[in-house]
Structure 1
């Protein structure tokens, strides 16, 4: 269990490093208003960006049920947790953009991809657990 906790902390630090920490105040966007950094339209996104966000949240769907079985007991629960975590990231990016002009894009597609990635991770964990139970 300690290994899973350490792995989760490393994963969380990695996600924060990719999504929040590279803050560049008043970067290359010039005089573009912060509102222009918000992407409201779903499924209008670069496929690579969507794929990377799915992959980034796959471990979330695996590690949360291993650490807190009740929290990851159902797809609905893990989906809501992933959506909440993703929304927290997006709101942090928005706050940094409005306050210091970090110019991070806030995208509804990130919410979709991150939640989907966590659900895929949860499903893969369930599949592996069933196979292990059948083999054992």
Structure 2
């Protein structure tokens, strides 16, 4: 959740696609997350990820237990993340606070955001 919000609002430093070049698996996954996954509207993220895991990666071959796993991990969990991200955004819209404060209030997660040099002046 925090990583998706950070990609949009940039309140913490993170590894960018530029620093993960070379075709390594981590670089490809980061590129997909930053350039495709994070830009899809909430709710659709969960559906796309579930279809990827269950259909494209042949998760349906895992039987009944596999179906339960892919629904819970690939759809329900991702949908919950999308819902929490939307909740943080709604909180920010109705309360005069920054992203870091909204995350702490809504999610109960303390984020140690580094201040940018221009903010410190």
TM interval, shorter chain, is 0.3 to 0.5
Question: TM-score, structure 1 length as denominator?
Answer: 0.33
Question: TM-score, structure 2 length as denominator?
Answer: 0.36
Task: Choose between structure 1 and 2 for higher RCO, CA contacts under 8 A separated by at least 6 residues.
Answer: 1
